[in-house]
């Protein structure tokens, strides 16, 4: 068995070992600035450019005399090196590389991880660490959720109040969706445009495309707090510090926070376009995510501006008003060579342009998403039961991620070709620091990587578990607080139900504490 995650397309173990000596050098057709080995024409690590390989594909051949990598592009060469990294264990002090042959290529072109930094802010160094973990797993899309109700996290020079006001909240809800508990005190943080450029470059060096998500028209409470005229009614409201659930207005004394921006004011559209223009200058990716989910439309129904747009454009209702709003953004993005992505709720509009990319997340089956993909529309699969990594393992064990298949969510076999790929979502309402972040993504990131990269015919849960046990030395080496088996694969249904119940209202860090105790006792 090749001890490698994700499992390669084809591999063969052979007898013997390649010995890494003190003078180990590389000879490469690619620049590969991240490869720190000395370069020499007689280097015994030979990296060749071969146009017969597709993007991101590679071969790795280890003999007793030489290690040879062939790839069509730099990304493929780097992925080969990541495979070599795992099988050689050089970082662990090993010097013998088992002889083998690997021929490898990706299953999906979109292999993503998301991080929500509106609810909790992690900062440049943590994001770079996240990107490094993705790189090791051959994941190539970082979906960066930079704005939401609880904080605007990216500098927009034309609208400085977005960060001066919109990036700071005065309290933070704790203890789960059903809780009314809060922590008083300012919480904030944002990225300057220079920070963004630095991180985009860092990701690019690792073959990772960053796709920004700037939410419109809903999840805009932080933006509305900065510029109240964005909403249908101009009300002065602070950046909210609660995340959802039942929050009695009498207890917190705050109302009218969950509102959309006004789709009927041209001034609002100018704001949206201005923000998009600045964001597009920072992110070269040919995609732009606008969210678009969970958009309340009560104010639109009473707003004269919104109703006039509906009447003037012969729209059916407020749902089609959101479609009209999204189509305007789509056309603006198209002029910049970019495609619009939105969560699958946007497909409810009957007038939405068919070129939109839907990201299918909802726990329940969505007939609109399934119709979209089965009639030629592009889709990214992030189905809640498999890829919502902020949820407890008690609710969604690791096996949910590993056993994922789009056909189980209404994608016909002949239309799997319309699936761009898969993505794990990390919403951070209840993830407030590195210890819990690591717990929720490890080992889920490894399971996702195998779904995203490996051929379905090669996947085996039993085999993956064995390779994952072998991989755990890297968790320790990289100081990753991974979930032990008793947490990531809970067997007792009663205990699982209790964990989920407490998570919803009470103790959102229950699994963190359990994991800490199990590690203290030596359970791996």
- Residues labelled as active-site residues: 148, 219, 294
Q: How far is CA 397 from CA 128, 361, 393, 432, 470, in A?
A: 27, 17, 4, 21, 20
CB neighbour class for 364 (10 Å; exposed up to 12, middle 13-18, buried from 19): exposed
Q: How far is CA 171 from CA 180, 186, 238, 252, 332, in A?
A: 12, 6, 10, 10, 36
**Residue 264 gets which letter from DSSP?**
S
CA distance 365 to 64: 53
Could you tell me whether strands 45-49 and 26-28 are parallel, antiparallel, or unpaired per DSSP bridges? parallel
Please provide residue 239's backbone torsions phi and psi, each rounded to the nearest 5 degrees: -65, 125
Instruction: Give residue 89's region: left, alpha or beta (phi > 0; psi -120 to 50).
Output: left
CB 451 within 8 A of CB 422: yes
Beta-bridge partner residues of 104: 58
Q: How far is CA 111 from CA 103, 106, 217, 384, 480, in A?
A: 19, 9, 27, 16, 21
Which residue in 455, 430, 449, 450 sits closest to 440, CA to CA? 430
The SS3 of residue 369 is: helix
């Amino acid at each position: 068995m090749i001890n490698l995650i994700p499992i390669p397309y084809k591999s063969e173990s052979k007898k013997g070992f390649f010995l890494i000596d003190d003078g180990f050098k590389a000879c490469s057709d690619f620049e590969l600035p991240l490869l720190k080995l000395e370069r020499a024409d007689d280097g015994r690590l030979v990296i060749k450019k071969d146009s017969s390989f597709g993007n991101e594909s590679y071969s790795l051949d280890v003999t007793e005399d030489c290690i040879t990598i062939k790839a069509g592009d730099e990304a493929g060469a780097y992925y080969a090196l990541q495979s070599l990294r795992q099988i050689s264990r050089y970082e662990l002090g090993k010097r013998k590389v088992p002889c083998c042959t690997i021929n490898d290529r990706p299953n999906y072109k979109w292999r993503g991880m998301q991080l929500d930094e509106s609810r909790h802010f992690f900062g440049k160094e943590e994001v770079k660490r996240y990107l490094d973990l993705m790189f090791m797993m051959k994941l190539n899309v970082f979906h960066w959720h930079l704005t939401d109700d609880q904080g605007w996290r990216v500098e927009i020079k034309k609208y400085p109040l977005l960060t001066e006001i919109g990036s700071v909240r005065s309290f933070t809800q704790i203890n789960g969706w059903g809780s009314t508990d809060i922590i008083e005190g300012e919480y904030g943080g944002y990225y300057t445009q220079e920070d963004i450029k630095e991180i985009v470059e860092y990701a690019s060096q690792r073959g990772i495309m960053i796709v920004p998500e700037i939410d419109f028209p809903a999840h805009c409470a932080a933006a509305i707090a900065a510029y109240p005229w964005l909403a249908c009614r101009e009300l002065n409201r602070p950046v909210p510090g609660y995340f959802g659930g039942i929050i009695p207005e009498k207890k917190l004394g705050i109302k009218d926070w969950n509102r959309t921006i006004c789709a009927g004011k041209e001034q609002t559209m100018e704001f949206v376009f201005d923000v998009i223009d600045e964001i597009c200058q920072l992110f070269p990716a040919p995609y732009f995510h606008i969210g678009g989910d969970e958009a309340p439309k009560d104010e639109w129904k009473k707003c004269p501006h919104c109703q006039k747009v509906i009447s003037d454009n012969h729209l059916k209702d407020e749902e089609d008003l959101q479609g009209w709003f999204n189509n305007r953004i789509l056309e603006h993005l198209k002029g910049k060579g970019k495609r619009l992505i939105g969560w699958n709720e946007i497909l409810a509009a009957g007038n939405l342009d068919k070129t939109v990319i839907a990201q299918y997340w909802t726990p329940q089956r969505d007939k609109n998403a399934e119709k979209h993909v089965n009639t030629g529309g592009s889709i990214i699969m992030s189905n809640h039961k498999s890829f919502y990594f902020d949820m407890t393992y008690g609710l969604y064990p690791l096996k949910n991620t590993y056993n994922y298949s789009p056909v189980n969510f209404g994608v016909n076999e002949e239309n799997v070709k319309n699936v761009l790929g898969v993505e794990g979502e990390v919403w951070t309402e209840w993830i407030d620091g590195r210890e819990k972040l690591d717990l929720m993504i490890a080992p889920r990131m490894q399971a996702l990587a195998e779904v995203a990269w490996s051929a379905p015919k090669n996947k085996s849960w039993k085999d993956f578990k064995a390779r994952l046990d072998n991989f755990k030395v890297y968790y320790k080496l990289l100081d990753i607080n991974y979930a032990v088996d008793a947490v990531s694969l809970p067997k007792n249904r009663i205990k699982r139900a209790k964990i989920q119940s407490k998570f919803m209202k009470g103790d959102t860090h229950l699994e963190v504490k359990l994991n800490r105790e199990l590690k203290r006792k030596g359970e791996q």
